[in-house]
Chain A
Amino acid sequence: MSLALAGVGLTYANGFAALDGISLRADQGECIALIGPSGAGKTSLLSLLATAMAPSVGEVAVLAATPAGLGAAALKKLRRRIGTVYQAPPIPGRQRVVTAVLAGRLGQWPLWQGIASLFYPLDVPGARRVLARVDLADKLFARCDELSGGQLQRVGIARVLYQQADLILADEPVSALDPALALATVRLLVDEAKSRGATLVASLHAVDLALSCFSRIVGIKAGQIAFDRPAGEVSEAMLSELYASEGQELPMLATEPRFSPPAVATDVVTRTAC
């Protein structure tokens, strides 16, 4: 079992209930897409899994451990195995790409290695390998503030690839990428998870991207799970219901149906888009 949430609720200090009665289980190696309108609670759910927050009620277990009951050392050990891709990559602008990527393994490196690597990057080939997978090998020694938003987002993904986490969490990992690159990058994350048997939980804005790349789709609305189905069983009606508050259109990768790549457009999506 890779993650298990039982009756989890999360209420913020200002009284806003972000999550309510969430129960979700996933086996090691599963790939799950979280979809739903903005403000539905996708990010809150991911921060629970990332052990960044503790639930107000219910129980969260991640990688066979309950973060709430762990001491500092054990929690650190657990967190080493969790990698997160953020929508806005939390990387200092002045850091070089190579350093930002190598920082993915700081949890595994001993202290001296982390300090030494600030003076001379200790695993340049390793950093280059993961950067090549996101098409950024040429930016290895560039500074992060020289990159575009999309490039920086891919550096964040390269860092998680380098970390080799057992649980990969991704919060809108491709929001700053163009459609073709977004598709390739999400596939990269899924392939990475499958090849290493890691669990992947990604929140995605584009429904078609979720349906075409992930086997299991969890729809979230107003802090609750609206549906939890294999991608093939997600119907148009379920999607329309999920996004009812966002107007007529479903959020798609390519806003113009004509240009949506055929590989992405599953039946349901093509029909709703047209």
Chain B
Amino acid sequence: MNPADRDPAARRRLFGFLAALAILWPLFRMAEVKPGALFDAANLKVIGHFLGAFLPPETGAEFLAYLARATLETLAIASAGMALAGLLAVPLAYLASAAGREKPALNPLTRSLLTVLRGIPELVWALLFVRVFGLGPAAGVLALGLTYGGMLAKVYAEILESADAAPARALRLNGASRPLAILYGLLPQVAKELVSYTVYRWECAIRASVVMGFVGAGGLGQLMDQAMKMLNGGEAASILLTFMLLVFAADGLSGWLRRALDRPPAKRASPFGWRSLGLLVALPGVVLASFYFLGIGFGELFSLEAARSIGEFVAGFLSPDLSAEWLGKVAKGSLETLAISLVGTLFAAIGGLLLALPPWRAPFSFLLNSLRSVPELVWATITALAVGLGPFAGALALALHTTGVLGRLYAEALANVPAAPGRALRLCGVPGSLAFLYGTLPGAAPQLIAYTLYRWEMNIRMAAILGFVGAGGLGQLLYFELSLFHHAQASTVIVAMLLLSIAVDQASAWLRQRMR
């Protein structure tokens, strides 16, 4: 072969493939992937029995009253937490983002604050706040506010950076200040994305506040925890149905908002129609009502006594256990957590893509939404029944929930890809599958990869807490040590979680850069 005809990228591709294989294989072993366990007779019997009890769902008046109250509480925790998160996120995103700056400057201080906020999973924050402020929704709201504030800020900053920078640059060159350049040059491009991400996060916040109940921060989670502990299938089914209802409602709301943003503005000076005005009134109303309903007194949170107990608590964490033996345990837990997150995300990417492809969407959207509406931690309680306690249960739980998330994002990304390349190929007789591979997929690939990697960043945090219900990894260590009040050991685990999530963020950013 003519040496000039050799593909110069081939060697790199092969090397990348082999490297991925070399890294993934041991992690697969570590996650104890054993599909056989799914079909183990004893496991099948347990899960079958449990799922059998799902029918009929519990509909007793007393239980429904509890359920309604818990649902409201969950919604209120999510809304109040999101309000707090938004309050944090907007200024932080503005500071951290390179968007609208004339020289690409990153603000290292803000960025590292964001990393710490996001790096510690909300459930760990909640667990800590429960110790300081006692059982109740306040801990949940604060935990949500901090973690989601960090996440929203980071994603807002990146969405702003991903938009075409030319309009904002032109404005700045004409003397506009940075905030105005962002408002006029960038916001119109990304408003839809920002809104849909925020609504999506609110939806995640609902799921997260469900999970908060597992550590005693109120809401649906507490009910679910009780139902699962007593293997009460009927109640679990009612609660799961409620999750789904909530997520579908949030979905509808998100769609409505996005459509509203798509509509051309009214032909008069003020671009605000009845919809925008309604939202402007409704949003603060909902937030205020949430705080009122939860009865959080902010005076107590910022009292001298609270400050003292925070101080004492934090002091207990200042001297992490760094003995070789404990570090070894934590290192093993970290690797297991990493393995769970990678395997779970990988399975989900494959499953999500397969479910995103079929052109007739309705049944698949329903399936994806159902998978997504159940939080990972709840899935983990179920997969632990199906395949036994251990990391594989965690990986499966992550995969199930993440399939729902990624499948939906993939489907949207694929629908938004320019149709011309694929159509042009079909017009010269190319079969649909090849037209997809050559015409559609390359257009969507950067987004698919970015979504998957972002999701991996979230999953590493989630994998760290799946251990709370016995699905292996760092969470198991943390839960155990905290319940024994071993603050020094717990502190080591939290530091490990933080470092692990930072490492994964870096790896993911590097991969995204490479695969652009």
Q: Is B62 an interface residue (CB 8 A)?
A: no
Chain B residues within 8 Å of A, Cβ to Cβ = 2, 4-10, 13, 418, 420-421, 423-431, 433-435, 437-439, 442-443, 445-446
**What 1/0 flags go to A19-57 for Cβ under 8 Å of B?**
000000000000000000000000000000011100000
- The answer for the CA separation of A125 and B430 in the assembled complex, in Å, is 22
**Could you write out 26 A-B pairs with CB less than 8 Å apart?**
A50-B427, A52-B427, A78-B429, A79-B426, A79-B427, A80-B428, A82-B427, A82-B429, A84-B427, A84-B428, A90-B423, A92-B439, A99-B438, A103-B425, A103-B430, A103-B438, A106-B425, A106-B434, A114-B437, A118-B437, A124-B5, A125-B2, A128-B4, A128-B5, A141-B7, A165-B428
| Cα distance A161–B151 in the bound complex, in angstroms | 50
Q: Does A133 contact B (CB under 8 A)?
A: no
> Which of chain A's residues have a CB closer than 8 A to the CB of B442?
92-95
Whether the pair A90, B431 counts as a contact (CB closer than 8 A) is: no
Contact assessment for B10 and A115 in the assembled complex, using a CB-CB cutoff below 8 Å: no
The answer to whether B445 touches A94 (Cβ under 8 A) is yes
Chain A nearest CB from B126 CB (Å) reads: 41
Q: Are A92 and B421 in contact (CB under 8 A)?
A: yes
| Most central of A76, A82, A90, A124 by chain B CB within 10 Å | A90
Given contacts A99-B438, A109-B434, A114-B430, 11 further A-B contacts (CB under 8 A): A51-B427, A78-B429, A82-B428, A84-B424, A86-B420, A94-B446, A104-B428, A107-B431, A111-B433, A114-B438, A128-B4
A76, B434: Cα distance in complex, Å:
13
A125–B7 alpha-carbon span in the complex (Å): 11
Known: A84-B428, A90-B421, A92-B443. A106 touches B435 (CB 8 A): yes
Give Cα distance in the complex from A86 to B425, angstroms.
12
A163 nearest CB neighbor, chain B only: B428
A12 is an interface residue with CB less than 8 A from chain B: no
CB-CB under 8 A from B4, the residues of chain A are 128
Complex Cα distance, B13 from A120, in Å, reads 9
Most buried by A among B2, B424, B426, B429: B429
- Identity of the chain B residue whose Cβ is nearest the Cβ of A126 in the assembled complex: B5
Chain A residues positioned under 8 Å from B434 (CB to CB): 106, 109, 111, 114-115
A119 at the interface (CB under 8 A from B): yes
Number of interface residues, chain A, beta carbon within 8 A: 43
Minimum C-beta distance from A222 to chain B (A): 26
B438–A106 CB distance below 8 A: yes
Partner of B7 from A77, A92, A120 at Cβ < 8 Å? A120
What separation, in Å, do the CA atoms of A115 and B423 have in the docked complex?
Answer: 18
Q: Are B429 and A107 in contact (CB under 8 A)?
A: yes
A79 touches B428 (CB 8 A): yes
**CA gap between A103 and B420 in the complex, in Å:** 14
Of B10, B423, B429, the contact of A80 (CB 8 Å cutoff): B429
- Selected contact of B10 from candidates A88, A90, A120, CB within 8 Å: A120
A121 on the interface (CB 8 Å rule)? yes
| Residues of chain A with a CB closer than 8 A to B438's CB | 95, 99, 103, 106, 114, 118
The answer to whether B424 and A76 have CB atoms under 8 Å apart is no
Query: Chain A contacts of B430 at CB under 8 A?
Result: 103, 106-107, 114
Q: B428 touching A83 by the CB < 8 A rule?
A: yes
> Which among A104, A109, A120 has the greatest number of chain B C-beta atoms within 10 A?
A120
A163 to B438, CA, bound (A): 15
Q: Mark A64-98, 1 if CB is under 8 A from B, else 0.
A: 00000000000111111111101010111111101
A144 nearest CB neighbor, chain B only = B442
Chain B residue numbers with a CB within 8 Å of A118 are 437-438
Partner of A125, one of B5, B443, B445, B446: B5
Prevailing SS type, chain B contact patch? helix
Complexed CA–CA distance, A99 and B439 (Å): 10
Q: Output the nearest chain B residue to A95 by Cβ-Cβ distance.
A: B442
Q: Closest Cβ of chain B: how far from A10's Cβ, in Å?
A: 17
**How distant is B5 from chain A, measured CB to nearest CB, in Å?**
4
Complex interface residues of chain A between 157 and 202 (CB less than 8 A to chain B):
163, 165
Residue in A closest to B13 when the chains form the complex, CB atoms:
A119
Given contacts A90-B423, A114-B434, A128-B5, whether A77 and B429 have CB atoms under 8 Å apart is yes
Whether A79 and B424, one on each chain, are in contact in the complex, defined by CB atoms closer than 8 angstroms, is no
Q: Chain B: which residue is nearest A165 at the CB level? A: B428
Which residues 224-258 of A have a CB within 8 angstroms of B? none
Q: List chain A residues, Cβ under 8 A from B443.
A: 92-94
Nearest-neighbour CB distance to chain A for B250, whole angstroms, equals 33
Nearest 10 pairs between A and B by C-beta? A107-B429, A80-B429, A79-B429, A92-B442, A90-B420, A90-B424, A106-B430, A124-B5, A114-B434, A90-B421
Which of B423, B431, B437, B438 has the largest count of A CB atoms less than 10 A from its CB? B438
Identity of the chain B residue whose Cβ is nearest the Cβ of A123 in the assembled complex: B5
Task: Point out the residues of chain B lying under 8 angstroms from A91, CB to CB.
Answer: 421
* Residues of chain A contacted by B420 (CB below 8 angstroms): 86, 88, 90
User: In the complex, what residue of chain A is closest to B515 when comparing beta carbons?
Assistant: A94
Q: How many angstroms from the CA of A124 to the CA of B427 in the assembled complex?
A: 24
Measured CA separation A115–B434 after assembly (Å): 7
A105 to B438 alpha-carbon distance, docked (Å): 11
In the complex, how many angstroms separate the beta carbon of A204 from the nearest chain B beta carbon? Answer: 20
Instruction: Report Cα–Cα, A93/B442, bound state, in Å.
Output: 8
Residues of B within 8 A of A107 (CB): 425, 428-431
A79 to B431, CA, bound (A): 11
Bound complex: CA of A77 vs CA of B429, how far in Å? 6
Q: Give the residue of A52, A84, A141 whose beta carbon is less than 8 angstroms from that of B9.
A: A141
Q: How far is the CB of B357 from chain A (nearest CB, A)?
A: 15
Shortest distance from the beta carbon of B162 to any chain A beta carbon, whole Å: 15
CA distance A104 to B429 in the complex (A): 10
Q: Complex: how many Å from CA A106 to CA B434?
A: 7
B residues near A82, Cβ cutoff 8 Å: 427-429
Using Cβ atoms and an 8 Å threshold, which residues of chain B touch A88? 420
CA distance A141 to B434 in the complex (A): 21
Q: Which residues of the other chain, B, contact A93 by a CB distance below 8 angstroms?
A: 442-443
Chain A contacts for B9, CB-based, 8 A: 96, 141
Interface residues of A in 118-158 (CB under 8 A from B): 118-121, 124-125, 128, 141
- Which residues in B have their C-beta under 8 angstroms from that of A51? 427
In the complex, the chain A residue whose C-beta lies closest to that of B442 is A92
Of B5, B13, B445, most buried by chain A (CB within 10 Å of CB) is B5
Whether B437 pairs with A86 at a CB distance below 8 angstroms is no
Bound form: Cα–Cα A78–B420 in Å: 20
CB neighbours of A78 from chain B (8 A): 429
Residues of B within 8 A of A83 (CB): 428
Give Cα A247–Cα B405 distance, bound, in whole angstroms.
56
A200 → B minimal CB distance (Å):
15
| Contact partners of B445 in chain A: CB under 8 A | 94
**A76 cross-chain contacts in B, Cβ below 8 A:** 429, 431
- For the complex, give the distance between the alpha carbons of A271 and B182 in Å: 54
Q: What's the least CB distance linking B225 to chain A, in Å?
A: 46
CA separation between A114 and B5, bound complex, in Å? 19
A97 to B7 CA separation, bound complex (whole angstroms): 12
- Quick one: closest B residue to A128, CB to CB? B5
